[in-house]
Amino acid sequence: MKKLILILLGCLAFACENIIPEPPAVDEILDGPIDGLNSSEQARFLAGDFAFNDEVFSSGTGLGPTFVATSCGSCHAGDGKGHPFTTLTRFGQTAPNTPPNLLIGGPQLQNRAIPGYTPEILPEGTPFMKLTPPAVTGLGLLSALTDEQILTNADPYDLDGDGISGVPNYVNPPAYFVPKWFHQDANGRYMGRFGKKAATIDLLQQTVSAYNQDMGITSTFEPVDPFSGLEVDQEVSDQTVRDVVFYLRTLKAPIQRSQNDQQIIQGKTLFSQIQCGDCHTPEWTTPTSDIVALSNKTFFPYTDLLLHDMGPGLDDGVTEGSAETFEWRTPPLWGLGLSPNSQGGSYFLMHDGRASSIEEAILLHGGEANSSRTKFESLSAEDRTALIRFLESL
């Protein structure tokens, strides 16, 4: 009998070994903490991970009554980019430095509703912009940079004559915003660095706004219910909000794959030669941070976090903060090649997901990117392939 049991256990172990797949390589996934967190920070990361990815709201826990999504993770599956199903609709502000028109329901459309309520409908003829949710990994490194570092690349009047004139988006901070040592006050406004229009100053504002505008969840930071316009009791605790902020700050940065592949190395050289890196700044280094794991770290996001004129083809007639309607923040390119993992196996690129491939996204660039796009179009088929492979490796 003992021999039979051992045989059965051996067979079971063999079967399990062949059924259970190998875990994905660390550079094939976006989820996971940044290296260097201590035990208490790891515990807080896990608390934020649960709130972000596992907590799903319902009508009984404060959802809505009108909303866009039921959880953070439903817009950022695996911490990656969103899908057209979760794309947001913003409207109500059609010129820089003007408040959104709240009387018509701005700034965001809540296109879903709990039973007994009617989803919002965009008023006929109202200009709007669609915004596909971005990947959320590596945000802590971007948030650790100083305003001074980012402004080093700003050139609003194109004084160097290179055709690139990145500008910051200065926005009015929310009442709960507390400036850090690295923020610069610009007559009561502060520079945004997150969001498609760089209209969000920090990750607390990003988190509070997402709970409120995406899920209809109120907090002590934002107690006004977007449906009724009235202040109501908090539906998510301060601790949970701050745990999510900590989670976003301590998610690891995407890891480039196949860095020693000769074709990818060639593509990286071409990326620089056709001046893509003039806006998609490859490399940054953080100063000292309150989180040791974020301190003095060199990283490669491929963004300057500034606004650029992207031409009439990408002008939706709607904006945020001090940005023009044709200006968009340079999106980070890290994690680009992993986008299909969270987008149903396909690419949905650009601010609204209109591009179904990396090449199509490049060809949609206009305005300040005209020169780089033209140079890309002039590349040989072999060079185009190398450049695309480099971008896919990020």
Question: Within 10 Å of residue 295's Cβ, how many Cβ atoms?
Answer: 13
Return the closest-CA partner of residue 127 out of 316, 309, 350: 316
Instruction: Give the angle 25-29-33 at the CA atoms, nearest 5°.
Output: 100
Task: Report CA 311 to chain centroid distance, whole Å.
Answer: 22
Q: How far apart are CA 340 and CA 342, in angstroms?
A: 5
What pLDDT is recorded for position 17? 56
254 HSE (CA, 13 A, CB side):
28
Token couple for 13: 């172990």
What pLDDT is recorded for position 8? 47
What pLDDT is recorded for position 99? 85
CA dihedral (270, 27, 208, 74) positive or negative: positive
* pTM score of the predicted model: 0.93
Return the closest-CA partner of residue 190 out of 147, 143, 141, 248: 147
What pLDDT is recorded for position 6? 47
In 245-317, DSSP assigns E strands to: 284-285, 298-299, 307-309
Longest Cα separation, the chain:
86
Token couple for 26: 């660390």
What pLDDT is recorded for position 9? 47
Q: Using 70 as the pLDDT threshold, list the residues of the chain that sit under it.
A: 1-20
Question: Within 10 Å of residue 231's Cβ, how many Cβ atoms?
Answer: 10
Q: Where are the alpha helices (DSSP H) in the chain?
A: 2-19, 39-49, 139-144, 147-151, 203-209, 215, 238-250, 262-273, 339-342, 358-363, 370-378, 381-393
- Structural domain boundaries in the chain: 31-394
Q: For residue 236, give every residue at least 6 positions away whose Cβ sits within 8 Å of its Cβ, in sequence order, or none.
A: 62, 211, 217, 218, 219
How much of the chain is helix, strand and coil, in % rounded to 5?
35, 10, 55
Tens digits of residue pLDDT in 133-191: 999 999 999 999 999 999 999 999 999 999 999 999 999 999 999 999 999 999 999 99
